[in-house]
C-alpha cells in the first residue's frame, strides 16, 4: 500500500525541528551566540556561506535522486514499488526540511551583510557571496518544481488510463474526483460487475496510490512556490540598503568633488586678492614718493 508522502514529510519536519533546525540556527546566530564564530566576523561569515553552498549542493543532489525515483515509481510494481515509494517519501521529507533550513540560514546571512561589514569593499564581498548563494538556491528550487510538475503530469495520465480500464467513458470531472479522493463508487460497481475482477482491483489500487501521490505533489509544489517567492523577496530586500549606501557614497563623492572645486576657486581668489593688495601697496608707495619729491622741489624753490 502506498505511503502518504505529505504525512511523512510533516512527521519528519516535526521530528527534526527541535533538534536539527534549532542546532543549525544556534550555530549561525548573527549576534555571535553558540559555538560557531559570529556572522559579524568575516571568517565566521565566509564559513557559513561555504556551509550553505554545500547544503544547496546536497539539496540539488536530492532533487536529481527524486527525479529518478519518480520515474521508477511510475513503472515499479509489487514489493519493488513499495520500496521505491518508501525511499521516495523519506527523501522528499528530508529535502523539504533542508529547504526550510536553507531559507532561514540565507535570511540570517543577508541580515549580517551590513552590520558586520567593515568598509565598502568588505560589504560588497559579503553581498556578492550571499547573492550567489541565493541565486543557486532559487535555481535549485525551480528545478525541483519542474521535477514535481513533470511527475504530476505523468501521474495524472496514469490515473486516467487506469480509471478508463474500469470505465472507458469516464469524464474529466470523474477522473478529477478520483484524484481528489472520490470515485470509489465507480470502482466498487466495477469490482462486482466486471468479468475481470483482478484487473479492476489492480486498477482501483493504482488509482488510489496515484491519487495519494498527486495530492502530496500538489502540496510540495505549493510549498516550493512559496519558498521561491520568499527568496525572490529577499533578493529585492537586499538591493534596497545596498542602493541607499551606493547612492550615499555617490553623493559624498560628488559633494567632495564640488567642495574641492570650491576650495580651488577660493584659493585662486585669495591669491589674486593678495597680489592686488601688493600692487595697491606699491602704487601707494610710488604715489607717496612722487608727492614727496614734488613737495621737496616746491619747498626748495621757495
Q: Quick one: pLDDT at residue 66?
A: 95
Angle (CA) 80-84-85 rounded to 5° is 115
221 or 280, greater pLDDT: 221
User: pLDDT tens digits, residue range 7-30?
Assistant: 554 554 454 443 343 333 333 344
Q: Which of 7-11, 53-57, 194-198 has the lowest mean pLDDT?
A: 7-11
**Measured distance CA(296)–CA(190) in Å, rounded:** 144
Alpha carbon separation from 126 to 52, 191, 273, 277 (Å, rounded): 14, 64, 52, 57
* Residues 6 or more apart whose Cβ sits within 8 Å of residue 242: 123, 127
User: C-alpha grid cell for residue 104?
Assistant: 532561514
- pLDDT tier at 185 (50, 70, 90 boundaries)? low
Per-residue DSSP letters for 59-89?
A: HHHHHHHHHHHHHHHHH--HHHHHHHHHHHH
Average pLDDT over residues 216-229: 88
Q: Quick one: pLDDT at residue 271?
A: 79
Give the H/E segment covering residue 28. none
Length of the chain, in residues: 302
Average pLDDT over residues 278-300: 78
Domains of the chain: 5-238 (1.20.58.70)
Is 163:178 a contact under the CB 8 Å cutoff?
yes
Q: Which of 105-119, 125-139, 179-193, 265-279 has the lowest mean pLDDT?
A: 179-193
What rounded mean pLDDT belongs to the chain?
76
- Give one word for 118, left, alpha or beta, with left for phi > 0 and alpha for psi -120 to 50: beta
Amino acid at each position: 500500500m502506498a505511503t502518504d508522502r505529505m504525512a511523512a514529510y510533516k512527521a519528519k519536519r516535526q521530528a527534526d525541528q527541535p533538534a536539527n533546525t534549532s542546532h543549525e540556527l544556534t550555530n549561525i546566530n548573527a549576534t555571535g551566540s553558540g559555538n560557531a564564530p559570529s556572522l559579524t566576523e568575516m571568517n565566521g561569515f565566509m564559513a557559513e556561506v561555504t556551509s550553505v553552498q554545500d547544503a544547496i549542493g546536497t539539496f540539488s543532489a536530492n532533487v536529481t535522486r527524486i527525479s529518478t525515483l519518480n520515474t521508477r515509481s511510475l513503472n515499479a510494481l509489487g514489493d519493488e514499488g513499495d520500496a521505491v515509494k518508501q525511499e521516495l517519501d523519506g527523501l522528499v521529507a528530508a529535502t523539504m526540511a533542508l529547504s526550510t533550513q536553507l531559507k532561514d540560514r540565507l535570511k540570517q546571512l543577508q541580515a549580517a551583510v551590513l552590520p558586520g561589514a567593515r568598509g565598502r569593499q568588505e560589504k560588497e564581498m559579503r553581498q556578492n557571496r550571499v547573492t550567489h548563494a541565493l541565486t543557486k538556491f532559487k535555481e535549485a528550487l525551480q528545478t525541483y518544481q519542474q521535477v514535481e510538475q513533470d511527475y504530476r503530469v505523468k501521474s495524472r495520465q496514469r490515473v486516467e488510463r487506469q480509471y478508463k480500464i474500469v470505465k472507458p467513458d469516464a469524464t474529466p470531472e470523474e477522473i478529477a474526483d478520483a484524484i481528489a479522493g472520490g470515485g470509489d463508487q465507480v470502482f466498487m460497481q466495477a469490482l462486482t460487475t466486471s468479468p475481470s475482477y483482478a484487473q479492476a482491483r489492480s486498477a482501483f489500487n493504482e488509482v488510489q496510490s496515484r491519487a495519494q501521490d498527486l495530492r502530496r505533489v500538489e502540496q510540495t509544489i505549493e510549498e516550493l512556490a512559496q519558498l521561491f517567492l520568499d527568496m525572490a523577496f529577499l533578493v529585492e530586500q537586499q538591493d534596497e540598503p545596498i542602493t541607499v549606501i551606493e547612492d550615499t557614497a555617490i553623493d559624498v563623492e560628488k559633494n567632495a568633488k564640488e567642495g574641492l572645486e570650491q576650495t580651488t576657486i577660493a584659493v585662486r581668489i585669495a591669491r589674486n586678492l593678495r597680489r592686488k593688495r601688493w600692487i595697491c601697496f606699491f602704487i601707494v608707495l610710488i604715489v607717496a614718493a612722487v608727492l614727496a619729491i614734488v613737495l621737496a622741489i616746491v619747498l626748495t624753490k621757495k
